[in-house]
Amino acid sequence: MLQEAIDSIQIKQLIASGTTSLYNHKAEVDALNVFPVPDGDTGTNMYLTFQSALRELNNNQSLRVIDLLESAAYGALMGARGNSGVIVSQFFRGFVKALPKDLEKLTKYELALGIQGAYTLSYQAVRQPVEGTILTVIREMAKFAEENVVRDIPLSQFMMEIYQHARKILARTPEMLPVLKQAGVVDAGGQGLVWFTEGIARQMNGESFPEFPQEVLSTSDHVKSVSSYTANELLPDSEINFQYCTEFILKGKELDLEHIKNSLSPHGDCLLVVGDENTVKIHIHTNNPGLILDFAVRFGEMFEIQIHNMIEQSQQRLAKQIAEQGNGRIGIIAVAAGDGLEKIFRSLGVQGIVNGGQTMNPSIEDLAKAVSSLNASEVIILPNNSNIVMTASHVQDLVNNKKVRVVPTQSIPEGLAAMLSFSDDKSLDENVESMTEKGRSLITGEVTYAVRNTTIANLEIRQGDTIGLVNGNVVFSGNTPEEVVAATLKQIPNSNSGLISIYYGAEVTAATAQNLLNHLEESYPQAEIELYYGGQPLYYYFFSVE
């Protein structure tokens, strides 16, 4: 059992226990999706964010709790993915920001102070906070801690009571948010935080947790910068100006990020220097990795050093070509999954694709790397998913040498429509405004399958049913994807006179999609209908009407 103050060793144990607790329940959190669609990934997003925080925490050998918590906050920011992950990162940052800068141990008074700071910054991260979500759980934890910190109880009991109060608030979220009550679930983000808090509380009260799982849920196979070019179109090896991709973490005291950037920039390209005065992550393409390392070691210790020969690794060679292609003043990054969608975005002028979408939300760091790879001083990000918009909005925090703007596209069709409004003749802000307006002018639809039984707006849905959504809301349930597309379009008033764009997924054959097109052309003779191969996973069809 812990004493009345948490030291550096114990803080690592506690966050590891909290992360392990969430890991053990992440599938259950993923399942707490309001809509029964196959993109419930809140548990995975939160786990990956906490995992990144824990990794940075364990790499810091300081004996001061404040130093360790700052490392955890940095790791959470770099690894944040999805709305829930971004809120977790702000929770950490707010917790640390509220504490004294010379804090060596954490008493229950600092614990209460930190949770209050976490509440403040978490709410600031969301433009329109909604009651009945993880934000409510955080706020009520902070309120309970503030009201009870003066009680004469041990720190371990104080933490256990905070957890128990959070669990009670979580159980009430369906009463605060009607959509949760209708779906018969509690808030997924709140549940993830409660399980994380439970792990900490039980560890503080003497319960042992298994070692942190060795499994690393790496997203390197899912979230990456890709291109639509073939191997024959790659640049010859002789045209690569900087051969070695060099990446490492530098830990020191009072690190001057601007000085590091200015000193390293003449020795390569694709330079990324992010972090704070104590911990910096450095990425650069260079011909002399030794020179880079010799420079950095003067300022502190280096960790996780990786040096890759880009001539020998075709994927990195491909990323290099993408970086050298940006001819325009404004670069564009789009998030998409599916080889057909990637090619369409490329054809419209997108220079960088980050592979992601449903169940595959990229982290802030993933997007920051993609932005830094472009040869453009101003960059627009198209998140193309409602759960990636908030993540994209924090990329500017990590990329200081470029102006980054987000067009808040919430679906693939919105992103594609937004690209049609882009012009090199417009300024960055003018493009963002026109692209946002164009994306919002669409009515968008999706056809996928139900992952559980539920009832939505008197619509009985069984697991495995094919379901149709309009602007994110389930409106129809049927047997085949093609039947659902046709029925869903009937619920959109201007389908018969507008432009209908359809993108079929990886599980739909070209012949089946063509038959659907033929049927729709007969049903909507006055409409203009376009059919494209998207290749997206999980979703049979995306479509839009304008």
Looking at the fold, whether 511 and 422 belong to one and the same domain comes out as no
Say yes or no: 25 and 105 in one domain. Answer: yes
- 265 versus 34: the higher-pLDDT residue is 265
Pairwise CA distance, residues 459 & 38, whole Å: 18
Residue 27 inside a domain? The answer is yes
- Kindly state the percentage of the chain with pLDDT values over 90: 45
Answer yes or no: are the C-beta atoms of 199 and 22 closer than 8 Å: yes
Based on the fold, state whether residues 39 and 125 are members of the same structural domain.
yes
Question: How many distinct structural domains can be found in the chain?
Answer: 3
On whether the CB atoms of residues 275 and 71 are closer than 8 A, the answer is: no
Question: Which tokens go with 227?
Answer: 């291109």
Q: Are residues 425 and 451 in the same domain?
A: no
| 48 & 155 share domain | yes
Identify whether 299 is part of a domain.
no
Contact present, 170 and 186 (Cβ < 8 Å): yes
What Cα–Cα distance (Å) separates residue 298 from each residue in 44, 61, 291, 304?
38, 18, 12, 17
**pLDDT confidence of residue 368:** 92
Q: Which amino acid is at 542?
A: F
- Positive or negative, the CA dihedral 135, 141, 147, 150 is negative
pLDDT of residue 166: 95
Structure tokens given for 440: 């919002």
How far apart are the C-alpha atoms of 148 and 115, rounded to whole Å?
Answer: 13
Asked if the structure places residue 209 within a domain, the reply is no
Domain boundary among 392, 412, 441: 441
Statement to judge: residues 508 and 372 lie in one domain: no
Give the pLDDT of residue 2.
45
Give domain status of residue 250, yes or no: no
Decide if pLDDT at 153 tops 90: yes
Domain that holds residue 416: 325-441
Tell which wins on pLDDT, 77 or 182: 77
Q: Residue 327: pLDDT band by 50, 70, 90 thresholds?
A: very low
Residue 225 has pLDDT above 50, yes or no: no
Could you tell me if residue 365 is inside a domain? yes
Instruction: Mark which of 424, 441, 458 sits at the end of a domain.
Output: 441
Say if 399 falls within a structural domain.
Answer: yes
Residues 480 and 407 in one domain: no
The label of the residue with tokens 């934000």 reads 135
Shared domain for 431 and 536, answered yes or no, is no
Final residue in a domain of this structure, among 416, 441, 466:
441
CATH number assigned to the domain comprising residue 521: 3.30.1180
The predicted model gives 320-337 an average pLDDT of 69
Q: In CATH, what number is assigned to the domain containing residue 193?
A: 1.25.40.340
Q: Which CATH number does the domain housing residue 338 bear?
A: 3.40.50.510
Clarify whether residues 69 and 129 are in a common domain.
yes
Question: pLDDT tier at 224 (50, 70, 90 boundaries)?
Answer: very low
In this structure, the answer to whether residues 50 and 151 fall within a common structural domain is: yes
Mean pLDDT of 111-124: 93
Is residue 466 domain-resident?
A: yes
Query: Does residue 355 come out as left (phi exceeding 0), alpha (psi in the -120 to 50 range) or beta?
Result: beta
**pLDDT (mean) for 506-530:** 91
Q: Say how far residue 153 (Cα) sits from the centre of its chain.
A: 39
| Concatenated DSSP letters of 361-411 | PPBHHHHHHHHHHSS-SEEEEE--STTTHHHHHTGGGT--SSEEEE----S
Tell me what pLDDT residue 307 has.
83
Is 419 a domain residue?
yes
pLDDT reading at 265 higher than 90:
no
Q: Is the domain of 434 the same as that of 475?
A: no
Q: Both 447 and 428 in a single domain?
A: no
Region 118-132: mean pLDDT is 85
Question: Per-residue confidence at 274, pLDDT binned at 50, 70, 90?
Answer: low
